[in-house]
A and B are shown apart, each in its own frame.
Chain A
Amino acid sequence: MSTDKTDAGIELKDLYTPDDLKDFDYNQKLGEPGSYPFTRGPYRSMYRGRTWTLRSQIGFGTPQLTNERIQFMTQQGQTGFTMTIDLPTSYGFDSDHPLVRGEVGTTGVPISTLEDMETVFRGVPIGDLRVSLSIRPPVSAVTLGMYVAMAKRQGTDLALLSGTQQDDPLFQMSGGPLQTHVQFFPLDQILRLCVDVAEYCARYLPKLNWMPANGYNIRDTGVSAIHEAAFAMSGALYVSERLKERGLAPDQFLGRLTFFHSAAGDFFEEIAKFRAMRRLWARLCRERLGATDDRSCLFRTSCQTAGSSLTTQQPLVNIVRATVESMAGILGGVQSLQASSYDEGLSLPTEKSATMSLRTQQVLAHESGLNRVIDPLAGSYMVESLTDELESRMEAMIQKIDGMGGIVEAVKAGWVEDEINRSRTERLRKINSGETVLVGVNQYRDESEGDIEIFYPDEEAWEKERCEYLARYREKRDGEAVRRRLDVVKETILTKTNMIPSITEAVEAGATMGEIHDAMREAIGFIIE
């Protein structure tokens, strides 16, 4: 890390003084936490009122194995989790599709049926535990349908259904590139389903959060904190504008629009980033989107410590990195936190490494005192200067993206991918030259280090189990009812009608994730190459 610039390239003085905050207007720039522009936090009481959610990212193998890990981590003290789906499911394929051999369960849990979702959530107290579904459109349309169907079966009032449905159409699959997002489904329908999910949540699920942009995945490509904020907020603006076009007032939907961001390695820059994003988003909601209720202007975010900052070499050192990054998230005032596991560079988390991630948070929550005072770094000559500078640069980049016609056009034009490629290559160059120090990798190496215990996927066994399950499943359901509901899906996708109701009914009749996607692709004439 440079001594005179932040990770994003902002020049740093060696010392900041009151001169740096001359004419600083507390009420205009900061105000109270819980009051516009929310720089100091979205809520008046912040962690004094309720600690951030201690989350783990969970999903692998089979729904049953995933459920066991959720139970285990809940016993260890997690207060929320993010369900991560496997790659086949991410692209709308069932576990037995010929294209997905060898990929079942290796990066997340396979979800094909409503039963699968119910298995994941069996015995999970959804009321007490905060649930997030890490899923992109088009798949998020189906998982939302499953989540709703599951709630109905359990007798939950939909008006009280809580949780978060992630819904990023452009960046969910490791932050890009566009090729991966549109390989198996066309962009225009992905965007349509993204807005369908958000609209359905806004109209019928007033307690369910939805997430138009995965800032974490954007950031993990190697771009800067400024890109992370600008791309994510531009994505959120895009979806918001589409919702307004559908007749929703900003105050009807902005209150449940949430974010997901990274906590990366440059400690003070990350803290300032969250503060800057809160202030900037509040202003965008009011000035750009026309929100009249201040509660519509909250930048609420969950956060994960940056996986890309973790090393394959000397993996236990990653515990330190995840701790420093978690501290930045906490001092930055995030609403929920996931600390990446020390074996990130080697495999999926083991029980041991996942527990260590949770213990990291628990020490910070119960022993460090970091959460005793709200926004404790406010007023720091340096942190406020950095917050101002970041806000200014984020806003400038959003305006640049506006100039290209918005984030979707910027992606299509290749500009976003160019920025990503430039950033990631520059990062590797700097690590290679030693300009960026990576402890254990380009300095302080230990050539004698042995292997640590890691998780080995059993993808052959998982795939076999899933294929057998799906065969049995298709046997015992009412195939005719499924076909009728899939026909409705095929008809509806050709109209402008919101797809969630017809997809939910297809799910309830027993249609699988893959079958619903096949039906949609068939209706719109999309052929997978």
Chain B
Amino acid sequence: MNEVQYIGERLWAGHLGNGFVVLSFVSALFACLAFYLSYKQPAYLKLARLAFSVHGLSVVGIAATLFLMLFNHYFEYQYVWQHSNTEMDMKYILSCFWEGQEGSFLLWTFWNVVLGMILKRQLKDGMWEVPVMTVFALVQVFLASMLLGIYIGDYKIGSNPFLLLREHPEYHDLPFVKMPNYLAKLNGRGLNPLLMNYWMTIHPPTLFLGFASTLIPFAFAIAAFWNGQYTKWQAVALPWTYFGVLVLGVGILMGGAWAYEALNFGGFWAWDPVENASLVPWLVLVAAAHTMIINKNKGGSLFTTHFLSIASFLLVLYSTFLTRSGVLGSASVHAFTDLGMTGQLVLYVLTFIFISVALLVKDSLFRVTYVVVSFLLLFFSVIYGYKKIVLMAWIISSTVITIISYYKYFPKEKEEEELFSREFWMFLGALVLILSSLIITYFTSIPVINKLFNTDYAPPKVPVYNTWMVPFVIILMVLIGASQFLKYKKTEPKKFFKRISYTFILALFFGLVCSIPLYFMNDFSQANGQRKWELVSYSLLFITGLFAVFANIDYWVMILKGRVSKSGSAIAHIGFALLLIGALISTSKKSVISRNTSNKDVSALGEDFDAQESLLLTQGDTLPMGPYLVTYTGKRRKGIDVYFNIDYLKPDPKGKPAFDFSLEAHVQDNPRMGSAADPATRHYLNRDVYTFITSAILSFDTAAAKKNAFGSAKNYIGHVGDTIFSSNAFVIIDSLRTNLSKAEYEKNDSLLEVTAVLRCINTQSKTFIAYPKFIIKKNVVIPMEDIVDELGLKLVFWKINPDDGTIEITMSEKLSNTRDFIVIKAFVFPWINVLWLGCLTMAIGTIIAIVERMRKFRMQKST
């Protein structure tokens, strides 16, 4: 019955793609085995290299096939249908490629292959080729399996980008599946319009290249566990680690810039779980890079280096699990949907922990016991359940075994490090990075902790992160500033303190000069205890940040004599300190200028409630907002975006408001995602004025359709001489006229007509007269309305109260009278450009350091 002959399907593409998928998996598995065997039998090496090359080509093949399908709109494939359509701009086709999970895993695999190929050439015939490439190939086995999309029993392994739409489990019984020519009538669902910007084209590939580069130090560390050469890999791995620090760092900051420019996070960093998940591996990688330098220059911190190199990659895997498994649920604005790969991702993380621990154990009986017990536990939990308890038992025992192995098998330093030595202070810095990573990981993992322990803790808010991180950053800044002036091994403390005291005094002076007006002049006296502490810590951060900048400039100019080749670390550290100073000022002195004047004091509810941060702007009105006067002038629609134009005015020298600039904040009225507000920002050298819409009427047509309808009537009671206010005029009850006197009416029992004379004066002081009438005939009241067309007002005079002589009039306004309005929020971010300058400086410094390390490595090799 299901023998429908479909017309126009290009099944060859799917077969080709699937062929590459299977080939990439099998060749990775083969390469891994062959590399492993060639550790003892070098004969396998040629085969292993060949298999890895085949793997690389097949991954390129997968990517090329998928790209071809997207480019030519093969909507019979679910991935193409879901992420693209015929109307979209072809420049976003790359974004479609990695919008979905399968595509982003593919991107990751692709970068691994690129790095693997380069590394394979670099290490060829050296002592590291075999063990490092074994690890590389093993990771590729796991990643390649993510694209398999096959079922083993009920377990689904991977998710395949070449699945046909009509075979997708969600759609396979829809009516279109029975139509042979469905394809001719099918259009894709299209790329999410929120992602149609240039950040989506550059941010994911950069970030994934960063993720991929954490694999290199990981592979070396595992390789060293395997062959016991703990000190011989750092020189090779160091430029690569710097490369990872650079690319991952740039990738993360691009995400921040994207959030700042195009999303309404209200800043560049929101401690969102997805952001944290990429920040933590970066912090750990930075720590690893620093301990590697210690290894190279002095020895020591060996175990820490291995631990950090492994942790950085495992944290990338863990963050993939966090963001891809759906465990974050409502905790994140990103949160991807669950593709049913949670189990697989957890298993991968655990497998690599298992391999690391097993290799660390050097006693073969001990190792076999660990392996056997681990597998027994795995089978036990698969068959009998108790997954959480088994998992915790295994993690605890693995930790204990790691500690024991460290004491039993790992080479240790004989001599203790001097207190005043560069290696000790660098190590302290690494520890601070580790501790902050631990805390961020813990906060981010609260949803996981809830799952494991059946608790119901809520994820912390942004200020919690800030409060915890500031003290660590202060310590880091001091270390960054001072450490360069310490020598390896030992430094005379007196000389050291004298050397750094100049820059410290300079920083203290400038820091206080700046932070007194920033933090102490206005805020400090009114602040409560907690806030006082915050202000002190901000100003400490400011001073130590300046110290880090000054000290590194000093080091570069005075000690390195301004040489560029050696300046990498000094420049990168200046950049990092500037970045944090920029982040500090722009965040802590961010001011909300859109304060409203509703005067409703809700501060009694607590600090978090003292908001009143939005401002209502009615079209045409001009309101004061911070140092500006603002006017909402109107809206226009372009595609799915509605643009709201806001003019900013500033008093000119004569005190008259003059046009300064205008911002077009827009709201995307997105059929797939709902509406989303995108901020508009006016950039200045020393500040950004940032505005976004929090509430607005997006539709244009309702106003037009109801142009002639009147809104609900409002009743007014008053005397002659009173005034009624409409939205566009005021209405004065001028006088009442009657056709008869009261006596005549009672005598004749005839018609009584009372006319209200209403003077309606509009905003241009133009007067219109309305004559609504009140008619009584034989005790029946007939009100006669009057409409002022020019003002869109309907007035009905319907009651006279004989007791107090008041009259009652209802007034209704045309719906088109009610003017359009928007509710906005506006912030000023001072000195945010310091942050971007810091990013740039840090990237330049890191590039210089990479070049220098590569040069040193080549020199070392050639001698």
Physical interaction between A and B: no
* Residues of A in contact with B (beta carbons under 8 Å apart): none
* Residues of B in contact with A (beta carbons under 8 Å apart): none
